[in-house]
A and B are shown apart, each in its own frame.
Chain A
Amino acid sequence: MKEFALLFRFPNLDHSKMPPEDYKALARKWQDWAGGIAAQGKMSSNGLRLALEGKVLKPGGVVTDGPFVEIREILGSFIVVKADSMEEATTLAHGCPALDTNGSVEIRPIFVA
């Protein structure tokens, strides 16, 4: 089995403005989706949860604050899954809640040292 990183990108939604019930439902959706991959024994690492705020360093020492209005989509978080092929890893990415909000999932093989 190879490992693939699934990187989530989604338009910069302000979660703080979401009604709490919607936010809870969204969190549940993510958890159920990740649970489905884990149930197949294909979750390699739950990755890291990245906060939505942050800073960006650019050439010339220019530091900009997030939210990152310049780039249309922000990198949400990532998980690492186990799959035999790129096709299988892509299949696992289906159903990802990022897709519901016009986001995307980027599937990248992880190099074996």
Chain B
Amino acid sequence: MVAVISKLFGLEHIETAEDIVSETFLKATETWEKQGLPPNPTAWLYVVAKQKTLYHFRRNKILEQKVKPEIRSRQQETVDIEEPNFSQENIKDSQLQMLFAVCNPAIASEAQIGLALRILCGFGIDEIAEAFLSNKETINKRLFRAKEKLRTENIKMELPPEQEIARRLDNVLHIIYLLFSEGYYSQTQNQILRKDLCVEALRLGLTLTTYEKTSRPKTNALIALMCFHASRFDARQTGEESPILYEQQDAGLWDKELIEQGIHFLYLSAQGDEVSSYHLEAQIAYWHCIKEDSKEKWENILSLYNQLLLVNYSPSVALNRTYALYKANGRQEALVQAEKLRLDNNHFYFILLGELYKGMDNVKARLHLQRAYELAKTQTEKQGIQEKIDDLG
């Protein structure tokens, strides 16, 4: 709704649009409590939002005309107020345009995620604060600054010109990727909220596939990646504190349908010759959907990580690659490579070294795990590492 109304009246009215939408929902709660649910709640909401929008902008127009009648030209006076169009088609278009407006490089990336959650996914400020492990005040400030930016930079709610779409799409995809990761790896204990973040990221990704210019191979690759990861969502959760690690997951709990969907989008992503980091990550995630270890599986994963390092180096990719090297080519080779990484402030690095030395040199393994314990930041992580130390006997 916010997207549709903002589209109609311009992004400078985004706060008004948000107000109208919350007023609409408030009215719904009041009315529905007294009179019960209307036959078609969605339609009801759209009708009320439409009325409120028209009322607001008409009132605004009269006000403006009375306050500054002298500078009003005749032409402007006769401009009719269009009513918002809440058709499925228009909702889809507005959301797509809003997505590009929000994911504007002029806005800090954290704020882009916040805005997307607030405006496109309808999250409350407190939910966003929880997802970011932050407080309402910080989030409010962040969103306020972002909306100011939308105004001052005069960002229009429209798709970028054709020659720019490709470049801007990268940023949109990156924001969706961050949104998904926020849900998947978030430290918040609120499982429903985390799942919502992942579902919304997937939904925004799917919106991009409905438009030819944004439905690129890398868009499909990102969706495939999200499907594969999301398929393990339930298997990862126990409702207790720490996520269940891959090795201990019950593959029976993996969502087969999402895996199928992922394969479908992975297939679509193979068109053209572009290999983005989403392509590589999606393929890695695909191999992880096959629980049985095989030489083929790990050789493929290793090869994909080798390629991923060339397009997108990060310490965590380097660590995962070294683990794949261990599974594909054996402990000895992996140890030599691991010792060269020197990620001395990264507790995952020492967990990996501990894992590699385990059973071969338990004294070294213990030293590395103890170092990991010192570096770990959360209690949950420390607990997991302590269990590994106890395992050594």
Pick from A1-9, A31-39, A54-62, A102-110 the stretch touching chain B: A31-39
Is B322's CB under 8 angstroms from A39's CB?
Answer: yes
Is A40's CB under 8 angstroms from B340's CB?
Answer: yes
Is A32's CB under 8 angstroms from B341's CB?
Answer: no
Is B303's CB under 8 angstroms from A31's CB?
Answer: yes
Which residues of A have CB within 8 Å of B340? 36, 39-40
Is B313's CB under 8 angstroms from A38's CB?
Answer: yes
Interface string of B262-285 (1 = CB under 8 A from A): 000000000000000000000000
Which residues of A have CB within 8 Å of B321? 35, 39
Question: A46 at the A/B interface (Cβ < 8 Å)?
Answer: yes
Q: Given A32-B325, A32-B329, A46-B310: A39 and B303 within 8 A (CB)?
A: no
Is B310's CB under 8 angstroms from A40's CB?
Answer: no
Question: A43 at the A/B interface (Cβ < 8 Å)?
Answer: yes
Is A38's CB under 8 angstroms from B341's CB?
Answer: no
Interface string of B109-151 (1 = CB under 8 A from A): 0000000000000000000000000000000000000000000
Question: B251 at the A/B interface (Cβ < 8 Å)?
Answer: no
Is B318's CB under 8 angstroms from A39's CB?
Answer: yes
Is B337's CB under 8 angstroms from A39's CB?
Answer: yes
Which residues of A have CB within 8 Å of B315? 41
- Choose from A35, A40, A41 the contact partner of B306 (Cβ within 8 Å): A35
Query: How long is the Cα–Cα vector from A39 to B307 in the complex, in angstroms?
Result: 11
Nearest CB on A from B329, distance (A): 7
Which residues of A have CB within 8 Å of B318? 38-41
Is B302's CB under 8 angstroms from A32's CB?
Answer: yes
Which residues of B have CB within 8 Å of A28? 299, 303
Nearest CB on B from A20, distance (A): 15
Is A40's CB under 8 angstroms from B329's CB?
Answer: no
Nearest CB on B from A35, distance (A): 3
Query: How long is the Cα–Cα vector from A43 to B313 in the complex, in angstroms?
Result: 9
- Choose from B306, B310, B317 the contact partner of A32 (Cβ within 8 Å): B306
Question: B305 at the A/B interface (Cβ < 8 Å)?
Answer: yes
Interface size on B, residues (CB 8 A): 20
Is A35's CB under 8 angstroms from B305's CB?
Answer: yes
Which residues of A have CB within 8 Å of B337? 36, 39
Interface string of A43-85 (1 = CB under 8 A from B): 1001000000000000000000000000000000000000000
Nearest CB on B from A112, distance (A): 21
Query: How long is the Cα–Cα vector from A36 to B338 in the complex, in angstroms?
Result: 9
Which residues of B have CB within 8 Å of A41? 313, 315, 318
Query: How long is the Cα–Cα vector from A33 to B317 in the complex, in angstroms?
Result: 16
Interface string of B67-87 (1 = CB under 8 A from A): 000000000000000000000
Is B303's CB under 8 angstroms from A38's CB?
Answer: no
Which residues of A have CB within 8 Å of B342? 40
Which residues of B have CB within 8 Å of A36? 337, 340
Is A39's CB under 8 angstroms from B302's CB?
Answer: no
Q: Given A28-B299, A32-B302: A38 and B329 within 8 A (CB)?
A: no
- Choose from B302, B325, B341 the contact partner of A40 (Cβ within 8 Å): B341
Question: B367 at the A/B interface (Cβ < 8 Å)?
Answer: no
The residue in A31, A38, A39, A46 that gathers the most chain B C-beta atoms within 10 A of its C-beta is A39
Query: How long is the Cα–Cα vector from A36 to B335 in the complex, in angstroms?
Result: 12
Which residues of B have CB within 8 Å of A46? 310
Which residues of B have CB within 8 Å of A34? 306, 310
Nearest CB on B from A104, distance (A): 22
Which residues of chain B in 295-324 are interfacial with respect to chain A, using CB atoms and an 8 Å cutoff?
299, 302-303, 305-307, 309-310, 313, 315, 317-318, 321-322
Is A35's CB under 8 angstroms from B313's CB?
Answer: no
Nearest CB on A from B337, distance (A): 5
Q: Given A28-B299, A36-B337: A43 and B309 within 8 A (CB)?
A: yes
Q: Which residues of B contact A (CB under 8 A)?
A: 299, 302-303, 305-307, 309-310, 313, 315, 317-318, 321-322, 325, 329, 337, 340-342
Q: Which 7 A-B pairs have the closest CB atoms?
A: A35-B306, A38-B309, A39-B318, A31-B306, A46-B310, A36-B337, A39-B321
For the complex with contacts A35-B306, A38-B318, A39-B340, 5 further pairs of A-B residues with Cβ separation under 8 Å are A39-B317, A39-B318, A40-B318, A40-B341, A41-B318
